[in-house]
Amino acid sequence: MPPPIDPARTVAHDDALRSLFAEQYVAMVRTATALLGRRADAEEVVQEAFIRMGAVIDRVPPETRTAYLHRVVVNQARGSLRHDRARKRQPRPLAEAASTPEDDAVASDGARRLLALLDELPERQRTCLVLRYHAGLTDTEIADALGLSLGSAKTHLRRGLEALRTKASLR
């Protein structure tokens, strides 16, 4: 066989990245904001995810790029949360930081309280709920985004929702 010829070009790579960006950036920022509670952090996370995507986009099949991007965004968001937690030396930064400017802008007191309770949940449960009830991902997509088995994703989702209902009913 011949020496390898890679027809993909930098321009093509960047065209693909730009196309993916145009399709997914806003949606990813909204999802990351729902995860992190802060728009600025979310934008940083999503931009970093796209930068990482740019390094590998030619090796990721087009049909899986959105799923891959979800995974990177979720991982970046979790990394951001861990970094924030370590920096603040607090177990759950979002519980305390529930009153972000973003949440302050949420009109309903009930909604703000619900978000605060959500932020008290374990990270995986919280992430599963956000991906399900905000991003509209299927169980399979959630499992893929979190690197979990389908069964684990369903379990986290079910337990997270049950825990949130319980917390809400006690307050």
Partner 1 sequence: MTTDDATPTDPGSTDLGALDPFEADLAAALAARADAGGAPIDAAAGWDAVAHGVASHRAPSVLARRGPALAAAAAVVLLVAVGLVAVARRDTTVDVGPSRPGTTGAAPGSTPGSAGTTVSGVLLLDGGGIGPWRFGQPIADVLPGLQAALGPADTAGTDAGDTKGARWKTFEIRWQDDGRFSGWTLTDTDVVGAAAPPSLVLPLGLSLGMTVGELRAWPGSTTPVELDKAGPALCGTLEGRLCGLVSASSLDPPTQTLPDDALVYGFAAGTGARFSGTPATTSPDGTVPTGTVALQGDGLGEWRFGTDGDAVVARLTERLGPPDEDSGWTGPGFYAVRSRGVRWKALDLTLLEESKKPVLLGWTVYKSERGSADLPAGVTLPAGVRLGMTLDELRAAVGATKSQGLEGSIGECWTDHGKPVCVAFDPASGSTVQPATGSMRVLMVLAGLQVDPSLVPDARGGSTPATLPPVSTVPTPASGVPTPPAPPAGTVATTWRLQNPADANPEAWNFAVRVNYAGCAGSAVPGDTLIGPYVQETSTDVVVSFFAAPLPGGAHLCPLPLGTPATIQLHQALGTRKLHIGVGGTVRDL
145 sits in the region (left: phi over 0; alpha: psi -120 to 50; else beta) called: alpha
Residues 19-78 that bind partner 1 (CB under 8 A): 19, 21-27, 29-31, 33-34, 37, 39, 43, 46-48, 50-51, 54-56, 59-60, 64, 66, 68, 70-72, 75, 78
**In this complex, which beta carbon is closest to partner 1, that of residue 48 or of residue 120?**
48
* Identified binder of partner 1 from the candidate list 62, 88, 101, 122, rule CB under 8 A: 101
Q: Which of 85, 92, 97, 114 forms a contact with partner 1 (CB under 8 A)?
A: 114
Containing 13, the helix (H) or strand (E) segment is: helix 10-36
Q: Which of 103, 106, 83, 87 is nearest to 95 (CA)?
A: 103
CB of 26 or CB of 90, closer to partner 1: 26
Binding to partner 1 by residue 127, rule CB under 8 A?
A: no
104 touching partner 1, by CB under 8 A: yes
**Whole-number minimum distance, CB 86 to partner 1, in Å?**
12
Q: Do 47 and 67 touch, CB atoms closer than 8 A? A: no
Residues 81-100 that bind partner 1 (CB under 8 A): none
Q: Does 16 bind partner 1 (CB under 8 A)?
A: no
Least distance between partner 1 and beta carbon 120 (Å) = 14
Q: Which residues contact 85 (CB under 8 A, 6 or more apart)?
A: 91, 92, 93
Q: What tokens does 88 get? A: 């603040």
For residues 41 and 36, what is the distance between their CA atoms, to the nearest angstrom? 7
Q: Is the dihedral of CA 41, 26, 112, 152 positive or negative?
A: negative
Other beta carbons less than 10 A from residue 10's beta carbon: 8
Look up residue 143 and give its two tokens.
């499992």
Question: Of these, 63, 108, 120, 123, which contacts partner 1 (CB under 8 A)?
Answer: 108
- Residue 3 binds to partner 1 (criterion: CB under 8 A): yes
Q: How many residues in the shown chain lie near partner 1 by CB under 8 A? A: 86
